[in-house]
Amino acid sequence: MLNRILLLLLCMHMVPAMAGESISFNEESDVPLSDVPMVLTPARLSQPQSLVPASVTVIDRELIEASGAREIYQLMQLVPGMVALKVDGNVPTVSYHGTQARDVRRMLVMIDGRSQYQPGLSRVIWNDLPLEIEDIERIEVTRGPASPAYGANAFQGVINIISRHPNDVEGTSVALRSGNNGVQDWRVSSAAHGDGKAMRITVGEKADDGYDGEYFDDRAEVFKDVQRRDAKRIQTLNLRSTFEVTTDDSIEFLAGGSKSYLQRQGEGADFYTVMDYTDLPDENAEQAFMELVWTHRFNERHELKVQTYAQYTKDETEFAGCFKLPSTSFPGSTPDPFAALYFSQYMRDVFLSTPGDFRDALAVGLTGVLTGAPGAFQPASGAGPLCAGLNLDVQEERYDIEVQDTFYIDEYTRMVIGANLRHDRGKSEAYLGGSRDNLSHRVFGNLEIHLADPLYLNFGGYWEEDEINGANFSSRSALIYQFLPTHSVRLVASEALRTVDIYEAYANVHIYPKNLNEPYASDPLGTLGSAKPELFITQQSEGLLQPERIESKEIGYFGRWRGLQWDIRVYKEELTKLVSEALNPFVFEANNDDHVDINGREVQLDWHVADSHLLRLTADHRHTSTSNVIESRIANRDGSSVLWRWDMTERWMFSAARYLGRYYNDSAYERVDAQLGWTAPLAKSEIQIKALVQHDLTDDPVVFDDNVYQTGTRYWVSGMLTF
């Protein structure tokens, strides 16, 4: 199917009606800009999509509404080559070309120019994005390395989320959504406009039960008929305000945050085989930010922008239980006083002196205990099982200021240059043993040159230096041949990197028990051999990791003909020096030993069949070769999406979608959606009601065996009143 679509689109440039026109380089174009969509993200320059030095996917309000998505990450299923799934229970995974199923750290996500990439543990926490999906105006996704425009961690691409401008929102709206699978959402939004001023503020909450199916794992009888524990509740606050100070100066102030509560599964977790839970794991997170943007327009060809923001994130996972030895960790076992061994100074000494991992050390320690070796741990007389609470915490802060200048050098040359200063901080007793900082500074530029009438050149470069990684440079070159006014072929070569994060560089894992029971609480030295007992397993980074690298080459074809628009990408990517192995408190295998080679093709097509019909199609096929299976678990071979929107009347809208992914960890993902919406005036207000049904077409779990729904159909109904 993909090959047929490619052949059809490649032939369309022969249409005679398109001949004889050209797009001038400056803004006084002979072709209406409405015929060539404008995008900003790839080179930080406002460019017709036919002239950008990258493949770009735009998801606008029309598509967002047609998708019926509840959560922002689900919109990424409309992007060719993108994996957007709940892989780890209630934690979404979004990855371009699907490397690393759980530790997704190779893509930059921005909201209104503010990076959502967390500096401490290299994460984008999709649950905690402080924005409701209804407040998104558009999303521009740069597919392919974008570090030459946005820095190191735009490694495989950039997702640029642009919120709705206050001037584009009217009145106050109240919305409710309810459905099966525990879906219970609400949102209140209000906007106000004045003389040169505008403000929009939104508060909302989303809740659902996550994967609720029962699964079976034959490794241990205890896993039979276990209920998946991954419900979540997320609250958000988002404020955006604008002030027109003068005709040439504007200021924007943005602020907000989010709070999330996630159930975490006890079964199968790191501590499951060594403890009986008295309090099951819960994860609580909160985020807050403030952002200020000043824009000064010198004239139509020169603009200066200064942006600064502060961002704070706190994440805690807490649980409690009583400990048991591995030899008694199967059905029918009970916590054992000998399990206090885990927090003894004896076991800590064995761990530090035993080659291998914690399993090898535990085998040596248990042998010493069972044989009564001199100095081996023995429970205190009359002591019961050790019971305690554990807290895995991390706090991340970022302070950022950036200056960007955009200007024309002459009629044929346009440029954006800028500088950035950033201070990142990670704080965690469990992961870092305290607080660590990383100060970085950057200089960047992108140059666009109109060589001659059908050729355009784009050059981009980003130099950055920080305390962990030293100095690095990313670059991109693109040649664009615009053989017809709305048709162009691009050749792009780029190289980018993902820098080592604070945890990878400074990991110093120490897990201390809280609220110990007696007699351990009052006499830790006598019962455990240490005045400040800790889990015997500790990890420490050697600080030798280097940045991950990617080299990418692509040939792309953008075309637009009447109501039909398409973008085709054929590419080859080589990812080297990858950090693939586990870096958790139990296993810390930090190295740059792995690599991934990816080559494939992608197509996206938008077709306004008529004023009332929109068809959106994406398809991708790729081959992934990797030195480590961890990097290929969600690297599906084939993916596609089809979305159709039909505005039946002014009041009625219908949409249908189908999503396909083969194969995620040897399982298939296939789903169909159908949505019906009705809008009508009500007195001086407007009421909107929508109903959506999602149905799974396969019984396969989503990547991992325990990600299944009890029922293959999910549905919800939403209502909104605007006044």
DSSP string, 501-538: -HHHHH-EE----BSPPTTTTT-HHHHHS-SS---S--
Integer Cα distance of 101 and 86 in angstroms: 10
SS (H, E, C) 448-465: EEEEECCEEEEEEEEEEE
- At 458 the pLDDT is 97
User: How many other C-beta atoms can be found within 10 angstroms of the C-beta atom of residue 500?
Assistant: 25
Q: How many helices (H) and strands (E) does the chain have?
A: 7, 35
Confidence of residue 213 (pLDDT cuts 50, 70, 90): low
Could you give the CA distance from residue 698 to residue 604 in angstroms, rounded to a whole number? 25
Is residue 222 pLDDT above 50, yes or no?
no
Q: At 236, which amino acid appears?
A: T
Return all residues near 572 (Cβ < 8 A) that are at least 6 apart: 552, 553, 554, 597, 598, 599
Confidence of residue 13 (pLDDT cuts 50, 70, 90): very low
Distances (CA, A) of 553 to 52, 145, 450, 698: 15, 10, 22, 35
What percent of the chain clears pLDDT 90, i.e. is strictly above it? 74
Task: Name the band, by pLDDT with cuts 50, 70 and 90, for residue 214.
Answer: low
Q: Looking at residues 458-464, what average pLDDT do you find?
A: 97
Determine, yes or no, domain membership for 342. no
Beta-strand runs (E) in 19-62? 38-39, 47-48, 55-60
In the block, tokens 């591995």 appear at: 326
Residue 513 lies in a domain: no
Q: What is the domain extent for residue 718?
A: 2-324+391-500+545-722
Please tell me the distance from the alpha carbon of residue 446 to that of residue 43, in angstroms, as a whole number. Answer: 6
pLDDT value at 172 more than 50: yes
The DSSP code sequence of 157-176 is EEEEEEEPPGGG--SEEEEE
Taking CA atoms, 660 is separated from 447, 605, 676, in Å, by 38, 16, 22
Q: Which of 61, 44, 99 is nearest to 598 (CA)?
A: 99
The model's pLDDT over 573-613, given as tens digits with 9 standing for 90+, comes to: 999 999 998 888 888 888 999 999 999 999 999 999 888 99
- What's the pLDDT score for residue 50? 93
The enclosing H or E element of 114 equals strand 114-115
Answer yes or no: is pLDDT of 238 > 50.
yes
The mean per-residue pLDDT over the stretch 557-570 comes to 95
Helix axis angle, 345-353 relative to 358-371, nearest 10°? 130
Instruction: Provide the pLDDT for residue 227.
Output: 58
Query: Is 21 inside a domain boundary?
Result: yes
pLDDT, tens only, 399-449: 999 999 999 999 999 999 999 999 999 999 999 999 999 999 999 999 999
Interatomic CA distance for residues 286 and 125, integer angstroms? 11
List, for residues 93-141, the tens digit of each pLDDT value.
999 998 886 767 889 999 999 999 888 887 889 999 999 999 999 999 9
Q: How confident is the model at residue 1 (pLDDT cuts 50, 70, 90)?
A: very low
pLDDT band at 619 (very low <50, low <70, confident <90, very high): very high
Q: Does residue 21 carry a pLDDT above 50?
A: no
With contact defined as beta carbons under 8 Å apart, do 231 and 264 qualify? no
pLDDT number for residue 350: 95
What the block records as the tokens of 515 is: 């609220």
pLDDT (mean) for 225-249 = 89
Give yes or no for residue 178 having a pLDDT over 70: yes
Query: Residue 83 half-sphere exposure, CB side, CA atoms within 13 Å?
Result: 35
d(CA 621, CA 638): 5
Find the largest Cα–Cα distance for the chain: 95
The DSSP code for 65 is H
Instruction: Tell whether the model's pLDDT for residue 3 goes beyond 80.
Output: no
Stretch 675-686: mean pLDDT = 94
What does the alpha-carbon distance between residue 392 and residue 255 come to, in Å, rounded to a whole number? 28
Which pLDDT value is given to residue 226?
A: 52
The CA distance from 453 to 696, in Å, is: 50
d(CA 202, CA 287): 16
Backbone angles phi, psi at 73, to 5 degrees: -60, -30
Residue 370 belongs to a domain: no
Residue 436 lies in a domain: yes
What whole-number distance in Å separates Cα of residue 409 and Cα of residue 411? 7
pLDDT-derived band at 635 (thresholds 50, 70, 90) equals: confident
In tens, the pLDDT along 248-306 reads: 999 999 999 999 999 987 766 678 788 889 999 999 999 999 999 999 999 999 999 99
Cβ count near 608 (within 10 Å): 15
Let me know if residue 381 belongs to a domain.
no
The whole-angstrom distance between residue 68's C-alpha and the CA centroid of its chain comes to: 20
Would residue 122 count as lying in a domain? yes
Q: Residue 268's pLDDT is what?
A: 60
Q: 253-257: which pairs have CB atoms within 8 A and are 24 or more residues apart?
A: 253/290, 253/291, 253/292, 254/112, 254/114, 254/289, 254/290, 254/291, 254/292, 254/293, 254/309, 255/289, 255/290, 255/291, 256/130, 256/131, 256/288, 256/289, 257/130, 257/286, 257/287, 257/288, 257/289
Q: What is the H or E stretch that residue 309 is in? A: strand 302-323
Q: What is the pLDDT of residue 504?
A: 93
Both tokens assigned to 582? 């586990």
Position 514 in a domain = no
Angstrom distances, CA of residue 683 to CA of 171, 172, 366: 14, 15, 76
Q: What is the mean pLDDT of residues 355-376?
A: 90
Q: How many structural domains is the chain composed of?
A: 1
Percent of the residues in the chain that have a pLDDT greater than 70, as a whole number: 91
Query: Could you count the other beta carbons within 10 Å of the beta carbon of residue 479?
Result: 15
Q: Closest Cα partner for 77 from 158, 130, 141?
A: 141
Residue 12 pLDDT > 60, yes or no? no
Question: 309 or 11: whose pLDDT is higher?
Answer: 309
CATH number at residue 141: 2.40.170.20
User: Among candidates 178, 206, 202, 176, which has minimal Cα distance to 191?
Assistant: 202
Please state the φ and ψ torsions of residue 504, each to the nearest 5 degrees.
-60, -35
pLDDT at 267: 67
Decide if pLDDT at 335 tops 70.
yes
Q: Six-digit token pair at 59?
A: 């998801």
**Count of other CB atoms within 10 angstroms of residue 467:** 13
Could you report the per-residue pLDDT of 496-517, keeping only the tens digit for each? Answer: 999 999 999 999 999 999 999 9
The per-residue pLDDT of the chain, averaged, comes to: 89
| Bridge partner residues of 239 (DSSP) | 201, 255
